[in-house]
Amino acid sequence: MEWNRLISEERLGDKTPASGVSRSIFVQDHDRIIFSAPFRRLANKTQVQPLYEHDHVHHRLIHSIEVSSVGRSLAMRIGHWLAEQHLIKPGEEHNLANIVQAASVAHDIGNPPFGHSGEDAMGAWFAEQFAAGRGLAGDVETELQSEFTAFEGNAQGFRILARLEMRRNDGGMRLSKATLGAFMKYPVTAKTRAAVKASGDAGYVGLKKFGVFSSEFSLFEDVATSLGLPQENVGPEKWWRRHPLVFVVEAADDICYNIVDIEDAFTTGELSYKEVVEILVAAAKPRDASAGDRSQAEHVAMLRAMAIGKAIDSCVEAFQIHHEAILAGTFSGALTEVCEMAPIFDNMRKLSSDHIFTARRKTELEISGRRIINNVMSGILPVFEDLAAVGWNADRLGSRSQQLVRALDLDLRNLSTPAEALHSLADYTSGMTDRYALRISKMLSGH
C-alpha cells in the first residue's frame, strides 16, 4: 500500500471535493459525522452500563468523542514519524490525525440499543424468522441470511455513512474514501467471509467478523480500489486487507474502553478503589502514585489520564515496529496486543470480564433489552409484510399499517425486495436509543 493513495481526499459519490483554507476534507468529514442524527443518538445508547442513571458513567457518544481524541493523538505522533521517515510529506501528519479523528468518532455509529447484547438480540430475532421460513424471511436468499442472523454494528455503521444519512442512496454523507477506509475494520461481506472460512484460511484479523452488507458491497469496492487496498479472492468473491489507519482507530478504542471501563466500574461500585488504583498504577507507572489531598474519584481520574498517555506511547511504538507488515497488509493483530503494555491490557480485560460484564444489574438489564428489541421488531414486522403484499406501494397499505407508519415515522422509501425490507427494519431498530426502544416496546405491547 502507498500512503499517498491511502490518504486520498476523493469523496464517495462526489468527484469534486474541495478543501477550505481552514477546513480540510477530513475535518469536513468529522463535522458531517458529529452533526448527524445517528451520532447524536449515541448520547442515549449503552456503552457498558445499560440505562444507568449516574451522569458520570460513559455512554456511546462520550466514548466516541474520547476515542477520537486518543485516535487523533496516536495518528499525529505516527504521522510525525512517517514524515521523518520521508514516507509522507511534511504537514500531512495533520491529515492522518484528522482522518483517524473522523473515523474514530464514527466507529460506533451503527451500534443498536443495549450494546453488544442488542446486536445479539437482533440476530436472534432474525434467526427465529428464518427458521420459521414464513413471510418476508422465507423469501430472503439463503446466502444473505447470515447478514441478519449475525447482525453486525460495524456493517450497519458503514451503511449509515455511505448510504442512509444525508444523501440517501447517493453516497450518504459523502465522506472521504480515506475516512471510510480507516473506519472499515472488517473489509468483507458475510457471504465472502463464510467462503474464506470454508477454504480454511480465515486467520486474518480483518476476517474476524464481516463489516459490509452485500447491499453496500459496490460502495466499499469503490473505496478499496481508490485507496489501493490489497484485494484477495476466494473463487468469485472479493475481500480486502485493512487500511493501516484501522489499526490506529482500533487501538484508540481499545485504550479507551479498557482503561475507562475500569474508572466507570469504580464510579458504579463494581470495583473497589484499591483494585482500580492498583491496575491503573501498573499502567501509568507514575513517579508518585499517592493520592495526596485528592479525593478517591480525583485520584482515579488522574491515574486514568496518565494510563492513557502511557498507552498512546506504547501503541505508537508498536505501530513503528510493525509498520512494514501493516503497510503490506500482512499484520494480523491489534496494537494493544503487541505493544509493551499488552500484559496490562490483558489484566484489564480479565478484571472487566470477571467483575463488570457479569454484574447482576447489567445482566438483568440486558435480558430486558433483548425482550424490548424482540417486542419492537415483532411489532413492526407486519408493516413490512403488508407492504410486500401490496406490491411495495406504501399508499396501498392497510389502515393499521398506515397508523403504525405515522406513529413510528417509519421510512418505507425505495423498498422492493424482502432483503431490503428486513434491512429497513434493522435500520429502524438499530437506530433507536435505549430509552426510545423501551417506550416503543411499551406502546406496541400495550403496556
Strand, coil or helix: what is 46? strand
Q: What is the pLDDT of residues 124-182, one digit of tens each?
A: 999 999 999 999 999 999 999 999 999 999 999 999 999 999 999 999 999 999 999 99
- Average pLDDT of the residues in 107-128: 93
Q: What is the pLDDT of residues 321-344, one digit of tens each?
A: 999 999 999 999 999 999 999 999
Residue 134: CB atoms within 10 Å: 11
For residue 195, what is the enclosing H or E element? helix 190-198
Which amino acid makes up residue 54? Answer: H
- Give the confidence band of 201 by pLDDT, cuts at 50, 70, 90: confident
Q: What is the predicted pLDDT for the residue at 312?
A: 98
pLDDT at residue 363 tops 90: no
Single pTM value for the model: 0.93
Q: What's the rounded Cα separation, in Å, for the pair 58 and 41?
A: 14
pLDDT at residue 47 tops 90: no
Mean pLDDT of the residues in the chain: 92
> In this structure, what C-alpha cell is assigned to residue 335?
496494537
Q: What's the rounded Cα separation, in Å, for the pair 276 and 3?
A: 40
Q: What are phi and psi for residue 260, nearest 5 degrees?
A: -75, -30
Which amino acid makes up residue 136? Answer: L
Angle at 364 between CA 359 and CA 365, to 5 degrees: 105
Q: What is the pLDDT of residues 222-272, one digit of tens each?
A: 999 999 999 999 999 999 999 999 999 999 999 998 998 888 888 888 889
> In this structure, what C-alpha cell is assigned to residue 141?
436468499
pLDDT at residue 21 tops 70: no
Query: 211 or 358, which is more confident?
Result: 211
Q: Is 80 exposed, middle or buried (0-12, 13-18, 19+ CB in 10 A)?
A: middle
**Which phi-psi region, left, alpha or beta, contains residue 409 (left: φ > 0; alpha: ψ -120 to 50)?**
left
pLDDT at residue 367 tops 70: yes
Q: What's the rounded Cα separation, in Å, for the pair 315 and 311?
A: 6
